[in-house]
Structures are given as C-alpha cells and as structure tokens.
A and B are shown apart, each in its own frame.
Chain A
Amino acid sequence: MKKMKTVSIVLVLGLLMTLLAACGGGNNEGSGGASPSGSAGASEGAKNSDPVTLTFVISNTEDTTAFTKVFEAYEQQTGNKVELQALPGGDYDNLIKTRFSTGDFSDLFLMQPGTKQYVKLRAEETLHEWSGESGVWDNVIDSIKQAQVENDKIYGVPYGSTGMMGVFYNKEVFKQAGVDVPKNYADLIEIAKKIKAAGFTPFYEGVKDAWPPQVFYYTGWVTQVDPAIGEEGVAKLNRNELKFTDIPELKDLFAKQKELKELDLYQKNVMAGTYDEMQNEMGDGKVAMAFMLDGIISQMEQKFGKDWVANNLGFFPFPSETDQGTAMITPPNQLMVPEKAKNRDAAIELVKFMLQPENVDLFYANKPGIPIFEGATSELYPVQEDVKAFIDAGKSQVNIQNRLTASFVDFSKTLQNFFLDGDIDKAIGEFSANYQKDGKAKLLEGF
C-alpha cells in the first residue's frame, strides 16, 4: 500500500512537472514571437528560428493577389507567416476604429491615404511613427511622401499606385460619333451634344449608388477651384477660416452638373444609375463618358478583358474654361502598424521588406499601376499612360479630400437631393454645414 502511495505521488509530481514545462514552453514561444530578435531575421534575410504569424487587415474591396505574392516571398525568406484578414469594405473604417477602441490591434493594416486618417485613429497615441525610420523613404516619390506628413510626422507608409479621377471614355464611341478629347469645358459640352445626336448616351451617373456623383466635384476641384483659391485657400479651409459657400468656383461646379442634367446629357433614369450598370453600358458601347475613379480600370478588365481596356478605355481630366485641365491624382493606401501590436517589430520589418525594390516590382507585376517608387517598373495601360503624361508634365494635383483633415460627410446624400431639386444654394449650404459638423465632431482646431 505504501509502495502504491509513493508511486502515485511520483506519477502526480511527474505529470505536474510535464504540465509546467509545457506551459513554460508556450510562454517562451509567445514572447519569442514578439521579440525584436525574432523580427531582426527579416531584415537579415535569415530564417527565424522562432517564426511568428503576423495579422494583416485589409478591406475586402481590395484585390489581395499582389499582397499575397509579396507575403509569400516574405515567408520564404524569414519563416514568418502573414495571415490576411479581409473586413467588409463598406464598414471598414468603423470596424478598424472599433477594434482600436477595444484594444484589438492587428499587426499591420491597410488604410486609405492621407493625414485625415491620423485624426480618425488618434495616431499619436496608437500608431508607429515612420518619419525617422531607416529603409522606408529611400525610394518613395517626395510628393507622395509629403502628402502623408502632418506636424513633421508620418504614421502611414504609402504603398501601391497613384490613383486618379477624371473623365473615362469609350474610344470606340468617340470614333463612331466623330469626336476627339475636349480642348476645354465648352468643347466637352459640344462633344457631348454630338455624341447624343449620334445615338449614344454622353454621360452616365450612378446616382443610386450615391458615391459616384461626387467624382465630378473632386476632379473638377483641381481644375477649377484649386487655381482660384491656391494653397493658402486650402489651408484656410483646413482651419475653417474659409467656407465652401464663399468659393464661387465651387458653386459653379454645382451649376455645371445641373447644366448636364438640364441638357439631358445623362442616361435615362439618372436617379436609378449604378456603378455596375455604368460599366456594362460603357463596355457595351452605349455610354460614352463617365466622371469616375481608376477603380473602373480593374472592373472593366474583369468584365471585358485586358484587350478591351487596352484598346477602348481612354482618360482625360476635367477640362477648364481655357485648357484641358489638371489630372486629379490620389496617393495610394497607407500601411500602418499599431504601437501595441503583438508583433510590432516584426510588422515594421515586414513593411521594410515590402519596400525593397525587388518586392515593389513583384507587387506591380501583380497589380500594375502608376508607381510611387523611384526606379520601380510597372506595365501600364494606355489609359494610365495618359495620366502619367499629365503627372510628368506637372499638370496633376492631389485630391482635395486627401489634403483636408475634416471630411465631406454625407456629400453623396446632398448630391442625390441636388439631382432631385436642382437647388444650388441649398446643396452648397448643406455641403458646407456637414463639413463643419465633421470638423467639430473630430474636435479639430478652428471648428
């Protein structure tokens, strides 16, 4: 009996020790995963003896193929894994904000461009600051870098291609109607009238989807409003010292959109217009033009193939009263790393890995676009070459939304109402009031 008791005690002790050892092992693994030494391997190119799994959060509206390719290379080199978490695009901002407020940080995430996001995410407290980081800014085009700077600090690393907004058109329809790209705004209206006379729909507007009509104003802004108010005007808007209602050139944009409707240059049932239907009708050669952003390129590629995009899709900026206008560009999305991320150091190293020239090229090989890195190569469609020509000629400007800290809240709703009642003063008044409301809600200085 005594013997049995001794054996039992030994067995229990043995089991306890095994359990404790297992727990200890787990702890080591956990701490090792987050340790800087573990992440250092990424930059050194040697595989980690203690690999970690990084979480990368992205909107499900983004094509993840190019990221996946880069992450595969990263996994091969370091042994670390990257797990992609795609959140619903419509609520992406809110989901990220909610995760931040509950301390549920991913290791790395993709965010829309611009310093506006810093306010939204309370960057000073929550995000890693990149401006002094080595191995990050060596190849980034300076204007793109500057678009990320606020108070000499940068909390997001731009990654991807320059986006654009303007007038996308079907070259074949233009050919059949016997017209060419406009030389100025009056010419654009004349061209649209000729296209209508030839039996095509000159412009398509997705009012039902709410967001598309905004593009008219963003792309019109760089051609018409920026030259009028200058950099100082934009700075004043940022400080709430200038009101939208006090900018006649902006008011004129509302008048111009109203004119297009009154001249019957939009599709039938304009209120029911959707982005999807616009692509179909433009692809089928029924619609000539749309004020749109560059997302249309990949969408048309999916629906009508690469050849169609290469041969049929054209681009020109919103024309000014006197010339072809200025191309509106947007910086790419930015990569952000939360300071409290579990694998923060490894995530920083991953960003540096992604910025290495061969990995940048690998990204563009899988997602062609206008590069933001010097020396990077990317195969461009003619429609993208058209924009690049404007950028190279110094005739481009970053989207006003990416230059202001407060947002154009509910602008799409304002425009839906404007399409219904055509009341310019009411629309611009509401636009201005909502901008100020957002500034106040974000507790911005001057609002």
Chain B
Amino acid sequence: MERRKYPLYFSFPAVAVFLLFFIAPTLIGVYYSFTDWNINADSVTFIGFDNYAALFQEPRLGKALSNTLIFAAAVTVLQNAIGLALALVMNESIKMRNFFRMVFFMPYVIAPIVIGYVFRAIYHPEHGIVNTILNGIGLDFMAQDWLNDPKWALFSIIVTDLWRVSGFTMVIYLAGLQFIPKDLLESASIDGASYWHRLKNIVLPLIASSTTVNILLSLIGSMKVFEMVMVLTDGGPGYTTEVFYTYIRSTFSMGQMGYSTAINLVLFALVTLVGIPVLTALKKREVEM
C-alpha cells in the first residue's frame, strides 16, 4: 500500500504554537536564570553563573536533592510493583472485577491536596486512625508521630502518594495485559509452564511498553512532587522532607525570580539526566508482538 504524503507546511501551525508557547518560554527561562531578576529591583542584569554558584552553596539544596531522589526511587519502584500486582489480579475472572478496578483507580482522580488533608487526620499521633488501630490491637510500640518525626515523615508521604497513584499504573498495565493473546498463555499452560514462568517469559516481555510508560511517568511525576509534601508536612519538620519544589516555592516567595528559575532548570536537567538513560534502557527490552 502506498503511504500518502502530506506537504510539510501542514505542520507549520502546530510548530508555530509549539515554538511560541513551549520553546520560547523555556529559552526565556534559561536566559532569566542567568540574571539577577528580583521583584525588589528596578532592572534585570545579566550575572552569568552567579545564581548557580549560590545555589550549589545552599545547604537546603542537598537535602532537597536527596529527598527528591529517595522519594522518586521509592515511588517509582513501589508504584510499579503495586500497580502490576493489582493489574494481574484485576485481569483475572473475579467477582465484582469492574467495581474493584474503579475502587483502585478512584484515588487518582481525587486532588492531591484533598488526599493530603485526609491523611493528615489519618496520621495524627493521638486521634489518627493508624495509631488508634495499632493501639487497639496491642501494637502500641509501633505507633508513631508519622508526619512530625523526621524518621517517618518522608516514609508517610511516600505511602500516601502510592495509595494515590498505584491505581493509575494498574490501568496502564491492564491495557497491556489485554493485548496478550489468550491462546499464547493457554498453550504455555498446557505445555506445563507454571504461573511464575508464564509471567516471567510471556507476560512481562509482552507488556514491556506499558512498563516503559509507567516507569517514565512515575519517575518524572515523582521528581516533580509538590502538593503532597506541601499539605502533609510543608517540607518539615524543619527541612527534613524538603523537596525541589518546596524549596523553589520558598525562593519565589522571597521574590528571587532569577534564582528560582535557576533551580527550576537544575531540576529540569536532573529529570533529563535520569529520564533519558532509563528510557533508553527500557526501550531496548521492548519486544514486538
């Protein structure tokens, strides 16, 4: 079949919109990260790498960086593990399957801010449901001040975010699972392949493209985490759960626009640095059906 070709100029409007609303603001942002743009100043002056130099001397950046990376790594791995497990169960012929699918997906459509406020109550050290249950079943020693103890605060945020996003991951894995031909799995089963072998040798390779999408989305999304941290701990207690965006927010509040833009670009570079190798590695293991 001959492939129909369209003239190049058909793409011009789309390219123009992309240049105007995506590329141009990004380039302008890059420029401003090299300036002293400050809402208290009359003019904007080019200052070279001064913002970046100041940023890398800031002790809060180290904490924000490590917290962001810990959060991203934990959420990406666990979100995919939970999402895949849920998808495998929800792909089986079980009673009320559609209802359960909806229940697992529902947290994703609730605004993170709302979830944050609900979990603040759930985690309350004295009146929260978590500690009430632990105390009720005799596990008092496990009761913690979940959001205000630096040992547990980041962990609590991770758990909350997993509850919110795992259903979304499940849906993408489910879509991948639906495309696997049933006769392939049945013939493997007849040949005596165990569930684990079928999963390892047929299911996982054939849903590799879903894995690529899920891992990339969760990696990028979790590196940009903001609302959940802001509502649950606001980066606290102190700076113990500070992430990139809570730090960026505080610098914007001080009116340091050039400096804030520089931090944004560092985050952009970080996401790119982490994202591209992961994408390349994941793409390599995708198989064509």
Contacts and interface: CB of A to CB of B under 8 A. Distances in A.
Interface of A: 93-94, 97, 101, 119-120, 122, 207-208, 210, 268-269, 271-272, 409-410, 413-414, 416-417, 419-420, 437-438, 441-443
Contact of A441 (B38, B147, B148, B238): B38
Given A97-B39, A269-B145, 17 more contacts: A94-B253, A119-B40, A120-B255, A122-B40, A207-B237, A208-B147, A269-B148, A271-B145, A416-B236, A417-B237, A417-B238, A417-B239, A419-B237, A438-B254, A441-B254, A442-B40, A443-B38
A94 B238 CA distance: 22
Contacts of B237: 207-208, 271, 416-417, 419-420
A441 B40 CA distance: 8
Contact of A97 (B41, B234, B255): B255
Residue of A269, A416, A442 ringed by the most chain B CB atoms within 10 A: A416
B235 A413 contact: yes
Interface pairs A-B: 5 shortest CB-CB: A417-B238, A271-B148, A416-B237, A416-B238, A269-B125
B201 interface: no
Contacts of B126: 268-269, 272
Nearest to A427: B238
Given A269-B145, A413-B238, A441 B250 contact: no
B132 interface: no
Contacts of B148: 207-208, 269, 271-272
Nearest to B123: A272
27 contacts: A94-B253, A97-B255, A101-B39, A122-B40, A208-B237, A210-B234, A210-B236, A268-B126, A269-B126, A271-B145, A271-B149, A272-B126, A272-B145, A272-B147, A272-B148, A413-B236, A413-B238, A417-B238, A419-B237, A420-B150, A420-B238, A420-B240, A438-B254, A441-B38, A441-B254, A441-B255, A443-B40
Contacts of A410: 250
Interface of B: 38-41, 124-126, 145, 147-150, 234-240, 250, 252-256
Contacts of B149: 271
Query: In this complex, which of B39, B238, B252 has the most chain A Cβ atoms within 10 angstroms of its Cβ?
Result: B238
A442 B234 CA distance: 24
B254 to A, nearest CB: 5
Contacts of A416: 236-238
Nearest to B127: A277
A413 B145 contact: no
Nearest to A413: B238
Contacts of B253: 93-94
Contacts of B145: 269, 271-272
B28 to A, nearest CB: 16
B111 to A, nearest CB: 16
Given A94-B253, A207-B148, A413-B235, A272 B124 contact: yes
Nearest to B150: A420
A243 B235 CA distance: 27
Contacts of B40: 119-120, 122, 441-443
Contacts of A409: 254
Nearest to A437: B254
B238 A414 contact: yes
A210 B148 CA distance: 11
B45 to A, nearest CB: 12
A272 B153 CA distance: 12
A416 B150 CA distance: 11
A226 B150 CA distance: 35
A269 B128 CA distance: 13
Nearest to B252: A94
Contacts of B234: 210
A92 to B, nearest CB: 12
Nearest to B148: A271
A272 B127 CA distance: 11
A413 B255 contact: no
Nearest to B238: A417
Nearest to A91: B253
A88 B38 CA distance: 23
A106 to B, nearest CB: 18
B261 to A, nearest CB: 14
Contacts of A210: 234, 236
A93 B250 CA distance: 13
Nearest to B255: A441
A411 to B, nearest CB: 12
A443 B256 CA distance: 11
A249 B145 CA distance: 33
Contacts of A122: 40
Contacts of A97: 39, 255
Nearest to B249: A94
A82 B194 CA distance: 76
B226 to A, nearest CB: 14
Given A101-B39, A119-B40, A272-B147, A441 B256 contact: yes
B93 to A, nearest CB: 46
Contacts of A437: 254
A442 B253 CA distance: 12
A58 to B, nearest CB: 20
B78 to A, nearest CB: 26
A330 B126 CA distance: 35
